[in-house]
Structure 1
Amino acid sequence: MRSDWYKNAVIYQIDTPFFLDGNGDGCGDLQGIRRRLDYIRGLGATGVWLTPFYLTPFLDGGYDVQDHLQIDPRFGDIADMVLLLEEAEELGIHVIIELVLQHTSDQHVWFQSARQDKHSPYRDYYIWADEPPEEDDDPMFPGVEESVWSWDEAAQQYYRHMFYRHEPDLNLQCPQVIKEIERIIVFWLRLGVSGFRLDAASHMVKQAGGGDADKGYWLLNHLRDFVMLRRPETILLGEVDVAVDEYADYFGDNDRLHMLLSFNINKHFFLALARQDATPLADALRELPAPPLRACFANWLRNHDELDLDGLSDEEKEEVMAAFAPDEEMRVYQRGIRRRLAPMLQGDTAWIAMAHAVLFSLPGTPVMRYGDEIGMGDDLRLPERQAVRTPMQWSGTHAAGFSTADVDRLLVSPIDSGPFRYQKINVGAGQLQANSLLRRVSDMARTRLGLKEIGSGNYQVLDTGNPAVLGLFYQVDGESLLMLVNFCRQSVTANLHAFRDVELTECLADRAYSATDCTRHPRDIELAGYGYRWFGVVKTRDLSDDA
């Protein structure tokens, strides 16, 4: 029987260059990740998502791929990858890697050949025009790029680039490009990866349809078929920032993406955090379409990019900006916030823990970003999205325990000043403190692994009688789960009249609560400021009508 392991997983996202330097050259690498697999598994994660480690000029954090079949020497070699996959498997950790197919680096041999010779077999690998069309998409990075078209002197044509000008778009209507993609997939499947995260999946679909997404979904069907025929347990995780009513198109009928990163939930999550009111998130969850049987959503707090607020109204966007990015230097691309979670939540351990409690309560698979479990900060002196890409803070010793190299040899210096400095915020300190953020997040992650009801996707958003309290109720195979989280800093009471004839067993809480509200007939459940409580439910009657 095929395993839907990803529906009951906890995924840990790692920026390969910034996690741990295993050879002392100042750059994080695969060897370093391998050394910390025990830490990752101990944290409660059962999967890792690695940002690109391919050969790259490294002008876009490795997403400017120069060769999909070669590991950049900065990050190691094939033997390092094989060892990483081997040891991860021994620990029960699935490894998901990036499949960057929307574009390549302009240093890729395909593009270099294409631009030099109009009759090159690689010319059709990219998208060219004698004159750019009058109407096209806006660039992904407004304020950095003015257009998605740039002139190439050697080619004597314009080429299209949805992202940076040094990242030309691949022509995904070209059969030869699809063959190249198949070669890439087979190569990494044979090495033993468990899945691929499709970078810019919605843009890929549009390019595969010649500018029409409706004509481009065939690409997802093709990739799903190709992978399933070779490794049925392999997953496709898509970066899909589209309207909610388009989500179903990316899942298909269990024949496209296995997992979809739900940007809509993430945006409304931060709106709820800004208001200290769960209503925006609760409403977004009610609108979320049910995924097919063998698919699910993936949820996160922050990732390696900006917090993109497009999709919220102008008033809502400004509300989030005012709360979490009051200074212009904290904003980017006229739409987003370039900050880590902990600084946005003022370094308040209770508030940050509450946000994680929501993450682990949401229907779908939680994705944790490296460093968020200890409350790492950001470095706003770095440009654009790089502000949230700083070395992991392992200890208060030299270079945050990230590298033995001199600090001036590091790709990026660790944060060494302010409230989020590595001397104060680090893994070692978190492991020593009984009620640290690290301990609390790890408890949540490990508890979440035992709650298979969440992975089923069968949930109801409850009326808790208090707008500050998010209530989720899960039922599957006779098992039930109740999860409550308080979005505000004041103590509150959740009124759960629908649960008057059930028995609750508390399985996780932010603190010790009185047992009197968990008796046979509970009606009111107490929650401290930023508090959370998870319960197993023994039903004595059907709750579906009034939950």
Structure 2
Amino acid sequence: MKANWHRNTLIYQIDPSLFYDSNGDGRGDLKGIIRQLDYLQALGVGALWLMPLYRSPFKDAGYDVSDFLALDPRFGSEEDLRQLIVKAGERGIRVILELVVQHTCDQHPWFQRARRDRNSVYRDYYLWSDTPVDDGNQPIFPSVEDSIWQWDEEAGQYYRHLFYRHEPDLNLANPRVVEDIERIMVHWLELGIAGFRLDAASHLVEQAGGGDEEQGVWLLERLYRCMIRINPEGILMGEVDVEPERYSHYFGAGDRLGLVLDFWVNNHIFLALARGEAQPLQRAIARRPAPPDGAHYAVWLRNHDELDLERLSEEEREEVMQAFAPEPDMRLYGRGIRRRLAPMLEGDVRRQALAQSLLLSLPGTPIVRYGEEIGMGDDLSRPERLSVRTPMQWNAEANAGFSSAHHLAAPLIEHGPFAYTHLNVARQQDDPESLLARTRRLLWARSGLSEVGNGEAQLLTADHRAVFAIAHVGQATSVMLANLGPETVEVRLQTDLEGFEEIVSDSPYPAPEGASMSLCGYGYRWFRYAGSEQQQGDRQETADHQ
């Protein structure tokens, strides 16, 4: 039986080094996450996606791995991870780890042995050439790297690196490499994790297929089979930034990726928000293929990287840039925005809550990045993507309650409208109008709507261009509306809401009159039709949690 839990859960992304420091060394750790599990449970979180924990020199936030089978000591011990898995599980929360196997760091023993000896078995773990080869790929970070090939004096050859030069690419067509990856997976799966987020999944497939995507999908099937032998309900969540017509290669028959991170829809969320019009998002949803049984899309607003807008046309990309990143230092790599959501929306609590409601109404598993629920800001003085990687703001006390150390893993946001002294969890915890309270209500409402994860999504026609409307039809039917514009509107749907119950909204409203209703500027309203006693019981359980 294929896993289905991931279709009806909320995934919360954590940077372990920046979430909570339990031992006063200035860096977040696993015990720190354990201490905050009650907070996460109260949010309605169903799974944690942890950024890399492996041993690393941390030139790239842990994505430069030097030992896949060891935790970096800064995060704690393997027993700490085991305790996190157990204690999170007691609260109904699963744990997903990163699997970063498109490359290693140049300090990894495999690479050190490969560069020293052409006859070593590890030489073929990487991609080497006597001269740079144009294989159609360009540097992922074009403002930092001007080539994907780096000369290595000790090896006497060039090695390929799509990312940074200190991250040599693995040869995933080599069976020995794949066998080692399987050993890595088994090690962590046996601790009880729920699965992996596959970093750079589309590049993994390309490398496994010798440059041919369709020839490389065998790798996903192989990793999937390895996982379900240990955890039959495990999932692989893949970073797949490609055209939507190619998503089917990554889903297969539900025997490849269980969740495809949907950059296509993500880009069009921001195009819709920039225009204040629903049409770009409606068009994007209509174009993506339906996932197979046991698989789904993962949707989000912002993550740990730049907001990569490559799925938009050049004109659309500039439109979004002008709306949300008008200054040059807000942009990155010629394609993206290096800002968090809250500053992009000028700190407007209504608009941020609207964005969360929009995200949670989409067909797909929602992902929320740590701090997004309170509207954390960014630090544009930090280089590249580090601008959106700052410590969690727990309270207004020293170091935002993140750590008792004098020196922190990253600087705090201390000035301006997003400073921790007035934007933090403690300040918003008991304020019913805070972003945290609004987001929590939305998350709990969404957790009670199994039809959003399991049902059929149907885009609805509203007679106002600013209003996004969607229905999810299963054992019950949910109808969700979001006003992407600043003005109050009267809107009429093609669907009569007779018998529907309003379950969450941005503010009190009069009841709909048939198919007509009002929506405040940046407002949202969710309705549900549930006639059976079981469905009414589901509603009551959700209300009790809230």
Q: TM-score range by the shorter chain?
A: over 0.9
Given residue 529 of structure 2, which amino acid in structure 1 is its aligned partner?
V
Counterparts of 1:209 and 1:2 in 2: how far apart (Å)? 26
Say whether the 8 Å CA contact 1:290–1:457 is kept in structure 2.
Answer: no
TM superposition outliers: structure 1 runs of 4+ over 2 Å: none
Give the 5 Å matches for 1:312-461.
312-406=312-406, 409-461=407-459
Counterparts of 2:494 and 2:244 in 1: how far apart (Å)? 31
Please state whether the residue corresponding to 1:485 is helix, strand or coil: strand
Given residue 299 of structure 1, which amino acid in structure 2 is its aligned partner?
V
Say whether the 8 Å CA contact 2:3–2:235 is kept in structure 1.
Answer: no
Change in Cα spacing, 1:321 to 1:474, as seen in structure 2 (3 Å) is: same
Counterpart of 1:499 in structure 2 is 496
Q: Could you tell me how far 1:90 is from its partner in structure 2?
A: 0.8
Say whether the 8 Å CA contact 2:460–2:494 is kept in structure 1.
Answer: no
Given residue 514 of structure 1, which amino acid in structure 2 is its aligned partner?
P
Counterpart of 1:545 in structure 2 is none
Q: Could you tell me how far 1:134 is from its partner in structure 2?
A: 3.4
Give the 5 Å matches for 1:105-254.
105-254=105-254
Counterparts of 1:538 and 1:374 in 2: how far apart (Å)? 32
Say whether the 8 Å CA contact 1:116–1:154 is kept in structure 2.
Answer: yes
Give unmatched runs, 5+ long, in structure 1: 540-547
Counterpart of 1:544 in structure 2 is none
- TM-score scaled to structure 2, two decimals? 0.96
Q: Could you tell me how far 1:160 is from its partner in structure 2?
A: 0.3
Q: How many residue pairs get matched?
A: 531
Q: Could you tell me how far 1:214 is from its partner in structure 2?
A: 1.4
Q: Could you tell me how far 1:275 is from its partner in structure 2?
A: 0.6
Say whether the 8 Å CA contact 2:46–2:93 is kept in structure 1.
Answer: yes
Counterpart of 1:542 in structure 2 is none
Provide Cα deviations, 1:120-154, integer angstroms capped at 9, x if missing partner.
Answer: 12111111001111343010001100011100010
- State which of 506, 520, 536 in structure 2 corresponds to 1:528: 520
Q: Could you tell me how far 1:457 is from its partner in structure 2?
A: 4.8
Q: Could you tell me how far 1:384 is from its partner in structure 2?
A: 0.3
Q: Could you tell me how far 1:434 is from its partner in structure 2?
A: 1.8
Given residue 494 of structure 1, which amino acid in structure 2 is its aligned partner?
V
Provide Cα deviations, 1:521-543, integer angstroms capped at 9, x if missing partner.
Answer: x121111010000001269xxxx
2:17 counterpart of 1:21: no
Q: Could you tell me how far 1:97 is from its partner in structure 2?
A: 0.5
Please state whether the residue corresponding to 1:379 is helix, strand or coil: coil
Say whether the 8 Å CA contact 1:364–1:457 is kept in structure 2.
Answer: no
2:488 counterpart of 1:486: no
Counterparts of 2:202 and 2:298 in 1: how far apart (Å)? 16
Say whether the 8 Å CA contact 1:494–1:527 is kept in structure 2.
Answer: yes
Q: Could you tell me how far 1:498 is from its partner in structure 2?
A: 3.1
Q: Could you tell me how far 1:364 is from its partner in structure 2?
A: 1.1
Please state whether the residue corresponding to 2:228 is helix, strand or coil: helix
Mean CA deviation greater in 523-532 or 151-160: 523-532
Say whether the 8 Å CA contact 2:172–2:208 is kept in structure 1.
Answer: yes
Please state whether the residue corresponding to 2:372 is helix, strand or coil: coil
Provide Cα deviations, 1:100-134, integer angstroms capped at 9, x if missing partner.
Answer: 01000101010011111111121111110011113
Q: Could you tell me how far 1:246 is from its partner in structure 2?
A: 0.3
Q: Could you tell me how far 1:2 is from its partner in structure 2?
A: 5.2
Provide Cα deviations, 1:481-533, integer angstroms capped at 9, x if missing partner.
Answer: 10001000100122114326x32210111111112x25xxx121111010000
Counterparts of 1:149 and 1:286 in 2: how far apart (Å)? 39
Counterpart of 1:89 in structure 2 is 89
Counterpart of 1:476 in structure 2 is 474
Counterparts of 1:306 and 1:3 in 2: how far apart (Å)? 31
Say whether the 8 Å CA contact 1:13–1:368 is kept in structure 2.
Answer: yes
Say whether the 8 Å CA contact 2:195–2:227 is kept in structure 1.
Answer: no
Q: What's the RMSD between the two structures over aligned residues?
A: 1.1
Say whether the 8 Å CA contact 2:3–2:294 is kept in structure 1.
Answer: no
Given residue 430 of structure 1, which amino acid in structure 2 is its aligned partner?
Q
Q: Could you tell me how far 1:229 is from its partner in structure 2?
A: 2.2
Please state whether the residue corresponding to 1:429 is helix, strand or coil: helix
Please state whether the residue corresponding to 1:74 is helix, strand or coil: helix
Give unmatched runs, 5+ long, in structure 2: 532-546
Say whether the 8 Å CA contact 2:117–2:155 is kept in structure 1.
Answer: yes
Provide Cα deviations, 1:24-67, integer angstroms capped at 9, x if missing partner.
Answer: 00011111111111111111111100000110000000000110
Counterpart of 2:542 in structure 1 is none
Counterpart of 1:303 in structure 2 is 303
Counterparts of 1:493 and 1:65 in 2: how far apart (Å)? 54
Counterparts of 1:135 and 1:7 in 2: how far apart (Å)? 37
